[in-house]
Structure 1
Amino acid sequence: MARRGDTIELAVLGLLHEGPMHGYELRKRLNLMLGWGRVLSYGSLYPALKKMLRANLITEVAATTTPTSRRPRITYEVTEAGNEHFQRLMTEVGPTAWEDDNFDIRFAFFSSTDMEIRLRVLEGRRSRLQERLARVQGELERTQAEVDRYAAELQRHGVESVEREVRWLSDLIRAERGDGAPTPPSVPAPAPSSTPRAAGGVPSSND
């Protein structure tokens, strides 16, 4: 199971792979990637940045000031070691790459990987969700008679959320294989992170 710090590290390296950024911009971009339900605070970001600085994965560039702020902003850029580490992380295709948070970040940087790796991650994620779906559907059938209609409706909503993501993944897999499916959008569309995965008793893959 991936730790939150590892997920932040992967995301920061991916963003800095595009070019240098200061902390404010990094936090804004990370929050867009993580989705509305997982806002990243500076209290989480800056310890992660300090750890990456100590590991020589990133480096600080001369601080600059802006017209709207007299406080200098430190800009960060990725080092050669950081780029190599990012590439290694993006080639991992095991269960960690299929977890909720990690998958979203991996998907955002899919352009940095080849088709075989993308397919293995997409297929692994789909298999994980199909297992979760089968388990939760069974639980829903057993408990519907024991809960009121609002609790049952919330459970059904959770099941439908997972079903939508499974269909989305299947479309992406067909597109990667060139099976005639529409080309997937360059920006992660109906981002899975924006759906309440744990709604209605749908257990997280981190459980």
Structure 2
Amino acid sequence: MVRKRGDVLLLAVLALLADGPLHGYEVRKRLDLRLGAFRALSYGTLYPALRALQAGGCITETTEERIPGTVSPKRARVVYEITRHGKDRLGQMLEESGPDAWEDDAFGVHFALFTRVAPRTRLRILEGRRARLLERLEQMNRSIDRTQAQLDSYALEAQRHGLETVRSEVDWLERLISAEHHPEKPEENP
């Protein structure tokens, strides 16, 4: 189960390595590019995750050889590659669609990997996320109603902004769920 940010990082790294071998710098760069949730990812976080995946038999590492006769001040790079076990584990992690996949950190990573996920799993994650946000909306509305008289106008506007942000995401999820229920059919050639 993908339960915490570290587990979400393992999922994201395995998905990247499923596309082909990469060295650590390239893993970090692609995580930053594809999965904005990891923009603050440091090497101090990435390399322990890579070691954990290696210890679990999900990835292997090799050292790139330098070209003989060249002088390079750079040290050899370590290249990481997913194993068969890692591909199996990735498949399991991608199909997890329970409450942990609906939470803020995990949802963003799962969503970024939706092209690798079965339609029924995508739908369950989207519907779960929507349900979670509808609960959040209800709590926020109660909070605003309860504290409205105690807040200054800026604090009240900050709460209203948070409410509108969640409503906007619910609307977006509604469109995605509708699209999952009614996928576009490819046009036939005349």
- Per the normalisation by structure 1, the TM-score is 0.80
- The 5 Å alignment of 1:43-192 reads 43-63=44-64, 70-178=74-182
SS in 2 for 1:119: helix
2:157 & 2:73 partners in 1: Cα distance?
49
What CA distance in whole angstroms lies between the structure 2 residues aligned with 1:69 and 1:168? 50
CA distance in 1, matches of 2:140, 2:66: 52
Take 2:15 and 2:183, find their aligned partners in 1: how far apart are those partners? 29
Residue 68 to residue 157, structure 1, CA distance change in 2 (3 Å):
farther
Percent identity of equivalent pairs: 49
Amino acid at match of 1:30: L
| Aligned residue in 2 for 1:41 | 42
Decide whether aligned partners of structure 1 residues 36 and 111 sit closer, same or farther in structure 2, where only a CA change above 3 A counts: closer
Cα-to-partner distance string for 1:146-178 (whole Å, 9 max, x where unaligned) = 111111111111111111111111100101111
CA contact (8 A) 1:64 1:74 kept: no
Confirm or deny: 8 A CA contact 2:23 2:77 kept in the other structure.
yes
Q: What's the secondary structure of 2:63's corresponding residue?
A: strand
Query: How far apart, CA to CA, are the structure 1 residues paired with 2:47 and 2:149?
Result: 48
Q: Distance in 2 between matches of 1:152 and 1:122?
A: 30
Cα pair distance change 1:137/1:173, threshold 3 Å: same
- Partner SS state of residue 51, structure 2: helix
Number of aligned residue pairs = 180
Unaligned ranges ≥5, structure 1: 181-207
Unaligned 5+ runs, structure 2: 185-190
Distance in 1, matches of 2:164 and 2:65, equals 48
Deviations 1:161-203 (A, max 9, x none): 11111111110010111177xxxxxxxxxxxxxxxxxxxxxxx
Letter in 1 for 2:20: G
The answer for the alignment partner of 1:13 in structure 2 is 14
SS in structure 2 of the partner of residue 72 of structure 1: coil
| TM-score, with structure 2 as normaliser | 0.86
CA shift at 1:33, angstroms? 4.1
- Segments of 4+ moved more than 3 angstroms: 64-69
Q: Secondary structure of the equivalent of 1:70?
A: coil
Contact 1:61–1:74 (CA<8 Å) still a contact in 2?
yes
Alpha carbon RMSD of aligned pairs, Å? 2.2
Cα distance in structure 1, aligned partners of 2:121 and 2:16:
20
* Cα 1:58–1:179 shift into 2, 3 Å: closer
1:67-100 alpha-carbon deviations (Å, 9 max, x no partner): 9971322111111000000001111111011111
Comparing 50-59 and 144-153, the one that deviates more: 144-153
> Which residue matches 1:188?
none
1:141–1:32 distance in 2 versus 1, CA, 3 Å: farther
